[in-house]
Amino acid sequence: DKGKYAHYTLKEINDQRLTVVHAGRQDEATMEKFCNILASAKDIYITGSGTSYHSALIFKHMLARFGKIRAETVMSSESQYALASMDSNSVLVAISQSGETADVLDSVRLAKNQGANVLSIVNVTTSSLARASDAYLSTNCGPEIGVAATKSFTGQLALIYNVTDRLCKNCLETEKAEFAVAVENIIANQASIIKVAEQMKDASDIYLLGRSLHYPIALEGALKLKELAYVHAEGIAAGELKHGPLALMEKNTFVIMINPRDATFNDTISNAHEIKARGATVIGISDRKDDVYDYWIEIPHLKEEAYYPIVEVIPLQILAYQLALAKNADPDYPRNLAKSVTVR
């Protein structure tokens, strides 16, 4: 039931005020089993498709930075070419909202055939993936009806943070309620996002740039814009700008910089200047205003900077939704796409 909302997608974006908190709650025994299998693995592969693959990228980063644990990410659709050297000491972590994505289930089969353990993060706990796993964590965010993944993504991130925090023995700042408040704030103050959507209505190319943890969010924002608003959008690691993409920057190009105040801030600001000098329109998603931004979408400041992805993706979801409306596209049922991709 979408209740008072015009679309399921809008409802599900709003649901995130609560689901980012619920997702983190997990029964103790399952959490312990999941973390023990992960911590004792010889090698770890993390897989998923689409949005769930973007969670995989963040998981890898979190494990490396805070857990000093090395993991490799593999897109599920590429797994048949990449997952050939597993054994009984390997672990595959599969991330999937539906738990029914054919590519993901294929990667699980491949891992099992090589004797590896399978862990998963799912939203549908009765799914094939949950049943095939040695242990699974539930994102616990209720049914997601809109074709575009929204609350299941932030639910996956909340779990990833909890697992990481456990593996690093509580090295993350503990105030998890903090990001729930931040999500609430962004949802309550959408005027700047709607203004940007109006500006972008006729854009043919939108680029999203970020470094470190913000790069997967750039990819995720680009995916949302493609799916919902049918516009060419591309996520780029900001440091790669000078290695090619700078050649694309000109008047009428829109560039969204995902740039909260963390260790990546100054370098990304420098990139913004390089882009602006070529006449492109620069939009900053940040907790700090800067003159280089033509438009500033404010996000709240967080004490734990590792949590920014969960907060900064919200304005991108809202932007894609608003742009879909501005272009008369149905945000709940994008053309050519299915909610659960059970075919190869």
Residues at the contact surface with ligand F6R, assessed by CB under 6 A: 49-52, 96-98, 101, 104, 147-149, 223, 227, 340-341
Q: How far is the CB of 177 from ligand F6R (least distance, A)?
A: 26
CB of 280 to ligand F6R, least distance (A): 26
Q: How far is the CB of 315 from ligand F6R (least distance, A)?
A: 16
Contact 149/12 with Cβ under 8 angstroms?
Answer: no
d(CA 90, CA 38): 9
The nearer residue to ligand F6R, 165 or 332, going by C-beta atoms, is 332
Indicate the residue among 96 and 133 with the shorter CB distance to ligand F6R: 96
Nearer to ligand F6R, 227 or 332 (CB): 227
d(CA 271, CA 278): 11
Q: How many CB atoms lie within 10 A of CB 202?
A: 9
- Report the C-alpha gap between 305 and 301 in whole angstroms: 8
Q: Whole-number minimum distance, CB 114 to ligand F6R, in Å?
A: 21
Instruction: Provide the 8-state DSSP code for 305.
Output: G
CA distance linking residue 156 with residue 220, whole number of Å: 13
| Phi, psi torsion values for 230, nearest 5 degrees | 50, 45
Q: Which residue's CB is nearer to ligand F6R, number 98 or number 162?
A: 98
| Residue 102: CB minimum distance to ligand F6R, A | 9
The long-range contacts involving 334-342, CB below 8 angstroms and separated by at least 24 positions, are 334/147, 334/148, 334/227, 334/228, 334/230, 335/230, 337/147, 337/227, 338/147, 339/98, 339/144, 339/145, 339/147, 340/98, 340/100, 340/101, 341/49, 341/101, 341/102, 341/103, 342/100, 342/101, 342/102
- Pick between residue 53 and residue 179 the one whose CB is nearest to ligand F6R: 53
Smallest distance from the beta carbon of 56 to ligand F6R, in angstroms? Answer: 10
**Between 50 and 235, CB nearer to ligand F6R:** 50
Closest CB to ligand F6R among 295 and 333?
333
Would you put residue 90 in left (φ > 0), alpha (ψ -120 to 50) or beta?
Answer: beta
Q: Which is nearer to ligand F6R, 12 or 287 (CB)?
A: 12
Comparing CB distances to ligand F6R, the nearer of 149 and 282 is: 149
Rg of the chain taking only CA atoms, in angstroms: 19
Q: How far is the CB of 325 from ligand F6R (least distance, A)?
A: 17
Nearest to 17 by CA among 190, 183, 189: 183
What is the smallest separation between the CB atom of 342 and ligand F6R, expressed in angstroms?
A: 10
CB of 53 to ligand F6R, least distance (A): 8
Using Cβ positions, the residue closest to ligand F6R within the complex turns out to be 50
* Strand stretches in 250-292, DSSP E: 254-258, 281-286
Conformational region of residue 99, where left means phi above 0, alpha means psi within -120 to 50, and beta covers everything else: left
